[in-house]
Amino acid sequence: MKLAYKDNRVEQVVFWVNLTAAAVVVATFVALFGFTEPLVSAPLLYGAQGLLLVVFIAEKVVRLKNAEHKAEFVRAHWYEIPLLAGLAVALGGSAAWFGQAEASAVRHLAVGIYLVLQVVFKVCRRTVDLAATGRNPTMILISSFVVLIVAGAGMLMLPRASRGEPVSFVDALFTATSATCVTGLVVKNTGQNFTFMGHCVILGLMQLGGLGIVIFGAVFALLLGQALSVRESVAMQDLLSAQTVGRIGNMIAFIFFGTMLFEVLGAVGLYGMWDDIEGWSGGVGKQCFYSVFHSVSAFCNAGFGLFGDSLVRYSRCWAVYAVFCPLIICGGLGWGVLYNLGNIAADRVSRFFKKLCFKECRFSMEVPKRLRLQTKIVLWVSGILIVCGTAAILFMERYGNNCGSGRLDLPGAFFQSVTSRTAGFNTVDIAAMSDSSKTVLILLMFVGGSPGSTSGGIKTVTLAVIVAAVIAALRKRGEVELFKRSIRVVVVGRAITVTALFVMVLFSAALALSVTERGSGFAMLDILFETASALGTVGLTTGVTPALTSAGKLIIIAAMLIGRLGPLTLMAALTFNLKPIRYSYPDEAIVVG
């Protein structure tokens, strides 16, 4: 919602005051909780937070007076009323409800919660505003990822985020990039080297990186009753690759509540799994956190685990296949496909009850909603890749070269076929697999998940379009066809461009890595596997990641970021201001093939 103000200069001053105050709020919390002991005296920091509280309240008063329509301002910021009321109750009643010693802690907690909510609301709202400026929305998306990675790396470097010595900048940057880009490659043991605070930071990065901070901004705006403007809706349509602007609000709400539903169901399904293995120690709180962490990691296709061997120790647990696999598959389908499937399911249920309860409506109902072409392609290609990948891994482990483990059964092969395209969990030792099986995994990582999902790779639809183009050429057809629908030439060109760019980045990064890691003795197949895993944001490794040099880590960081954003997104950001030419040259026949 765009509000009009009487004096834009006052609004600009308020903006910079807000920005400075938000930065100071973050600094006070880092000084208080990021170190074993506060950097400066705690009373001074709490006093600074009290002053920041006054600044934020004064900001609301100034903006209310400066607003042209005060009623609109109040409606847009209605949530401030219950927040301030709750804060006033906590500050005024803490002494009566608690003892004098605890009353001070309650007041500090109430002020802290209010300040955190203010910063979160302002950051999320600002990201949506920036995306709607029309200044290259893809560059805004890239910038949001970079800022999130740098901020996450800074938090992981804090002494209280790690056990033992603080994490170095390169390792913190690597971990933050891997979490934000939902990859799962780690240079530090996530469970052992990071504390609960570090785990929470990684969990937050996975969630924000999986859905995108801009989407979270739009979600907060909608939850707070702030309707998106036309420019904001167009920006969201571009970032979500949606087909219509009119339903963008519904789709954003579907993304948010769908994510919460999948992750909650996943956490409930995983809750009883952890204590099935000998050696588990921990109470209800630890079980809950492990369930939530791995559920978010699976649905966001992040591949982060709190065990050093991923899920190898749980390879015989039913929940690995009954909970992890559906979460990974649904997370890799893409929100456009899930939205279409959800609409069809709701339509079928609605039609059933209408026929059951209102017989007179049987002949006047609308045409049933159907699967879009995108959904058909994604479901078919995903199913084929899972089945063929399972069969290929089973075959290569038994008959491939270099003597694979030979102990991989059907459930294990199925799990690796599912996870190798998107998630990065593993129930077997990847380094012990045969070279043939590793090659199959590289091909699956190369394809990746589906458009609009958190996965990397060239995407399933790209593969389908390229295969359809080859078939059309072999059949001497003038158009590329899929499911009795013609595919536009521009889409075919985009698919070829994505694949070519992905291949170029893959081999360039692998060659660069072979130079930086020349003293490590890694086989070229393992280096190519590591690069494909990073670029496909998968997270599987043959053991190369922990032994990387600093230069090698930086190469993998760049590969993970490119893989999460997509080569075509980066090219679109760089060529945003280029105007298409309005002329063409005469054609001339050439021979290819």
How does DSSP classify residue 98? S
Considering only residues 358 and 442, tell me which one the structure prediction assigns the higher pLDDT: 442
Long-range contacts of 362-368 (CB under 8 A, 24+ apart): none
End-to-end Cα spacing for the chain? 56
Q: Which two structure tokens, joined as six digits, stand for 389? A: 């990948």
What proportion of the chain, given as a percentage, has pLDDT over 70? 83
Q: Which two structure tokens, joined as six digits, stand for 432? A: 């012990």
Q: What is the largest CA-CA distance in the chain?
A: 89
What is the pLDDT at residue 100? 61
What proportion of the chain, given as a percentage, has pLDDT over 90? 17
Q: What's the pLDDT band for 527 if we cut at 50, 70, 90?
A: very high
Q: What residue ranges do the domains of the chain occupy?
A: 1-131
Question: How high does pLDDT run on average in the chain?
Answer: 81
> Which amino acid type is present at position 586?
P
Q: What's the pLDDT band for 80 if we cut at 50, 70, 90?
A: confident
Q: How far is CA 427 from CA 206, 320, 324, 449, 540, in A?
A: 21, 9, 11, 20, 11
| pLDDT per residue as tens digits for the range 378-436 | 999 999 999 999 999 988 887 766 555 546 788 888 999 999 888 888 888 888 888 88
What is the pLDDT at residue 317? 83
| pLDDT per residue as tens digits for the range 152-199 | 999 899 888 888 888 889 999 999 999 988 888 888 888 888 998 899
Strands (E), 417-559: 480-482, 485-487
H helices, E strands: number in the chain: 24, 2
pTM attached to this predicted model: 0.85
Averaged pLDDT for residues 47-57: 88
Q: What angle do CA 551, 184, 126 make, to 5 degrees?
A: 90
> Looking at the DSSP assignment, which residues form a beta bridge with residue 485?
482
Please state the φ and ψ torsions of residue 414, each to the nearest 5 degrees: -60, -45
Q: Which two structure tokens, joined as six digits, stand for 253? A: 């709400």
In this structure, the dihedral spanned by the alpha carbons of residues 371, 374, 378 and 384, taken in order and rounded to 10 degrees, is 80
What gap in Å lies between CA 90 and CA 110, rounded to an integer? 6
